[in-house]
Chains A and B, each alone.
Chain A
Amino acid sequence: MPTHNHTRRKLFNTVMQVLTCGCALLVVVPLLLVFYHVVKSGIGSVNWSFFTALPKPVGESGGGMANAIVGTFELLALAALIGVPIGVLGGVYLSEYGSGQVNWFIRFGADVLNGVPSIIWGMVVYALVVVPMKRFSALAGGIVLGMMMIPLIMRTTEEVLRLVPNGYREAALALGIGRWRAILQIIVRTALKGIVTGVLLALARVAGETAPLLFTAFGNRFWNHQLSDPIAALPLQIFSYAISPYEDWHRQAWAGALVLLMFVAIVNVGVRVLTRDRFSQGS
C-alpha cells in the first residue's frame, strides 16, 4: 500500500513537472516564431538602399526607409530629452526625499500610467499639442514618446537607487557633503549603470510604438526638416506599407520590421551585458 502511494506520488510529480516545463517553454515559442518569420521575410529586402534611399513613389520599385530610420532616432532623441530628466529626477525624489503617502500616490500614478493603452497617450497629445499647433509634427511625436517614458524611467530609477546601501548615504553626509551633492555625485553615480539600463529599456520599449505616433508624428514620405513638420518613423512606415496593396511595399515592411526588431534586441542584449559587468565587479 505505501509503495503504491509512493509510486503514484512520484508519477504525479513527474507529470506536473513536465506540464510546467512545457508551459515555460511555450513562453519562448512566440519569440522564436516572430524572429524566424521576420528574419525569413525581411532579410531579402534589407540592402544598402533600404538604409540610404527615400521611399519611391507608388508604382516604382526599389527605394528604402532612410527617412523613417532617421526619423525614429530623431523621435527617440526628442523623447529622451523630455523623458530622461523628468523620469530620473522623479525617481530620485521617490527614493531619496519622498515619504509615505506622497510616494504611494506618485508610485500608484506611475504604475497606472504604465498600463495606459498607448493609443490613449496619442489622443491626449493630439488634443494638447497637435490641435493647438494645427499640424502633426515631430515635436508632438517626441512629446508623446517622452511622456510614455517618464513613468517607466521613474520607477526603474527609484528601484536601483533603493538598492544603493544606506551606508553610502550616511558616509557621504558624515563627510559634511551637502545632501543634494551626495545624492548626485555619490548615490546616483553608484547606481548609474542601473539607471542607464532603465533608460535604454524605456527607449527600446517606445521605439516600437505605433498607435501614439499615428495622431502625432503622422509619418512622412520625405525627409523631415523642421520639428513642426510631420516625421516618418519605422513603425508608422511598417504600418502603412503593410496595409498597402503592393507586393514591393509588403517586402519593405518586413525589412522595416526586421530592422526595428534588431534594434530592440540589440538594446536588450546590450543591457544584459552591461548589468552582468556590474555584478562581476561585486558592487
Chain B
Amino acid sequence: MIMSTEPEKLTPPKRDQIAPGLTPQPRQPARTGIAEAAITVRELSVFFGSNKVLKSVNLDVPARAVTAIIGPSGCGKSTFLRTLNRMHDLVAGSRVEGQVRLFDQDIYGARVEPVQIRRRIGMVFQKYNPFPTMSIADNVTVGLRLNGLRKRSTLAERTEQALVMAALWDEVKDRLNSPAVSLSGGQQQRLCIARALAVQPEVLLMDEPASALDPLATARIEDLILELKRDYTIIIVTHNMQQAARISDDTAFFYLGELIEFGPTSKMFTSPSKKQTEDYVTGRFG
C-alpha cells in the first residue's frame, strides 16, 4: 500500500485554498502507518418496506485508498454505496438503522442536512449522465454555481483544476462551451468525475463507473482512480473482479445483504478466509 507523503507533482490544490466559504473542512490528515478510517459503518441495516436489504454491516473504509465492493447482483453493494451519501432519503419506504460516520460526523445524525453530506461525499454513476442542456464547462461547475459561487475567474479556475484532475483537460480545453453530450462515452464519464471533483468532496463513491465503457476508456478511468486516491477516499462498486484486483487496496465482499469478508485486496484474491469469498473470486458462482 502506498504511504503517501504530501504529493507534490500535478496535484489538485488544497480545498481550503480554493474554496474559502464553501464547506470549510479540515484537510484529511495524510495516511500514516495505521490506516485512518474515512467512513466508519456500524451495525448498518437498510430496509425497503419490510424487505431487509442490508444486514448489520460493520466496515471501516480507510482514508485515501481505494476500497472495492464486490458481490453478485442483488447482494446490496449499490444499496450500501448509496447509504453512504444518503441517496436513499428520497426513496419512499426506505429506512436506515445503525450508524455511519464520515470522519467525526454522524451522517445519519438528527440534525444533519443530507445536502451537506453530499457535498463532502461525491458520487459517479454507472451510466454517465452529464446534464444535456449544459456545456462542458457548465457541467463541471454546476455544483458550485447552484450553491451560490458566482465569480467567473474562480469558476474558470475550478473548471480547469477539475478537468485536469479528471484527465480530460487536454481533450476539451478548446471546446469548453460545446454541449457535454457531444463527447464520447468515456469522455462523458470523465466529465462526470470532474463534475464530482469540482465541489471538492472528501470521498468519492463510484457505482460501476466503467461498466458502460469500452476497454480503452475503462483503462483510462482506472488510471484516473489510481491518481485520485492520493487525495481522495474512493469506494468503488464493481462487477469486474480483475478491475477490483487492479485498482483497489481493500476489498469488501457482499452476499445476500451481508458483508461476508473485508480485507486487503491481495489477501482477498489469494487467500480469503471465508469459503464464500473464495468461491466468488474464483468464479464458482455469481
> Which residues on A are within 8 Å of B, measured CB to CB?
99, 165, 167-168, 170-179, 181-182, 185-186, 189-190, 192, 281-283
Q: How far is the CB of B163 from chain A (nearest CB, A)?
A: 16
Task: Of the listed stretches B118-126, B250-258, B262-270, B272-280, name the one at the interface; the rest are far from the partner chain.
Answer: B118-126
Q: In whole angstroms, what is the CA distance A268 to B223 when docked?
A: 51
Is B132 a contact partner of A173 (Cβ separation < 8 A)? no
A/B interface sample: 20 pairs, CB < 8 A = A99-B92, A165-B129, A170-B125, A170-B129, A171-B129, A171-B131, A171-B195, A172-B131, A173-B118, A174-B118, A174-B123, A174-B125, A174-B205, A175-B118, A175-B143, A176-B115, A177-B146, A179-B90, A189-B131, A283-B133
Q: What B residues does A186 contact at CB under 8 A?
A: 131, 133, 142, 146
B207-266 with Cβ < 8 A to chain A: none
Report, nearest first, the 10 A-B pairs whose CB atoms are least far apart. Answer: A176-B119, A175-B143, A174-B123, A283-B132, A167-B129, A176-B118, A177-B146, A171-B129, A189-B133, A181-B146
Chain A CB within 10 Å — which of B120, B129, B147 has the most? B129
Q: What B residues does A181 contact at CB under 8 A?
A: 146
Chain B CB within 10 Å — which of A170, A175, A192 has the most? A175
Q: Is B181 in the interface zone, CB < 8 Å from A? A: yes
Is A178 a contact partner of B129 (Cβ separation < 8 A)? no
Q: What A residues does B85 contact at CB under 8 A?
A: 174
Is A167 a contact partner of B125 (Cβ separation < 8 A)? yes
Q: How far is the CB of B23 from chain A (nearest CB, A)?
A: 8
Tell me what chain A mostly uses at the interface: helix, strand, loop, or mixed. Answer: helix
Q: What B residues does A167 contact at CB under 8 A?
A: 125, 127, 129
Q: 1/0 contact trace for B102-146 toward A, CB 8 Å? A: 000000000000011111101101010101110000000011001
Q: In whole angstroms, what is the CA distance A172 to B129 when docked?
A: 10
Q: What B residues does A190 contact at CB under 8 A?
A: 131-133
Q: What A residues does B69 contact at CB under 8 A?
A: none
Q: What A residues does B196 contact at CB under 8 A?
A: 174-175
Q: What A residues does B115 contact at CB under 8 A?
A: 176-179
Q: Is B65 in the interface zone, CB < 8 Å from A? A: no
Given A173-B118, A175-B196, A182 contacting B133 (CB threshold 8 A):
no
Q: What B residues does A192 contact at CB under 8 A?
A: 133
Q: Is B156 in the interface zone, CB < 8 Å from A? A: no
Q: In whole angstroms, what is the CA distance A119 to B53 when docked?
A: 55
Q: In whole angstroms, what is the CA distance A165 to B125 when docked?
A: 13
Q: In whole angstroms, what is the CA distance A182 to B115 when docked?
A: 11
Q: In whole angstroms, what is the CA distance A153 to B179 when docked?
A: 29
Q: In whole angstroms, what is the CA distance A112 to B125 when docked?
A: 40
Q: What A residues does B131 contact at CB under 8 A?
A: 168, 171-172, 186, 189-190
Is B143 a contact partner of A176 (Cβ separation < 8 A)? yes
Q: What A residues does B120 contact at CB under 8 A?
A: 176
